[in-house]
Amino acid sequence: MRAWILGAAFAVLLLPASASADERMGITIYGPGTTKCHLWLSDQAVGGGPAYMEKIWVLGFLTAYNNYMVKDRPGLSTDDTPTFFDWISDYCAAHTEETLAVATAKLIEHLKSE
């Protein structure tokens, strides 16, 4: 367990610290959310630190949505994490220049419509 934690911490250090204003979303995106979809696809194919951190970012974004946006309404309609990642991969394959943040926001729109 300790080796896994140290490995994850090391992977975080390898990722560039980044922030980007996304005009379409009207918010500033931090961390792996600025990753382009084509990089998501290649990172997920290889696995390792960047792929793990991107997945954690997606789960954090979804958690924040559930916490801050749906106070008086039901949350997202599923908690099937692998389905989230598969949906994002499918979206990214069709929109390679979009960011992970946009792909995750589109996932939320999809889940809200179910």
**pLDDT for position 28:** 85
**pLDDT for position 6:** 40
The three-point CA angle 88-92-109 to 5° equals: 50
- 58: tokens are 């997606």
112 confidence band (pLDDT: 50, 70, 90): confident
Task: Determine the Cα–Cα distance for residues 38 and 93; give it in Å rounded to an integer.
Answer: 7
Domain ranges of the chain: 2-113
Burial class (CB in 10 A: 0-12, 13-18, 19+), 10: exposed
pLDDT digits (tens, 9 = 90+) for 50-81: 999 999 999 999 988 888 876 666 666 666 78
Q: Smallest Cα–Cα separation from 36: which of 94, 84, 101?
A: 101
**pLDDT for position 111:** 85
Q: Is 19 helix (H, G, I), strand (E, B) or coil?
A: strand
Cross-strand bridge partners of residue 39: none
> Which residue intervals of 21-76 are DSSP H helices?
37-46, 49-69
**pLDDT for position 16:** 47
- Lowest-confidence segment of 1-5, 27-31, 63-67 by average pLDDT: 1-5
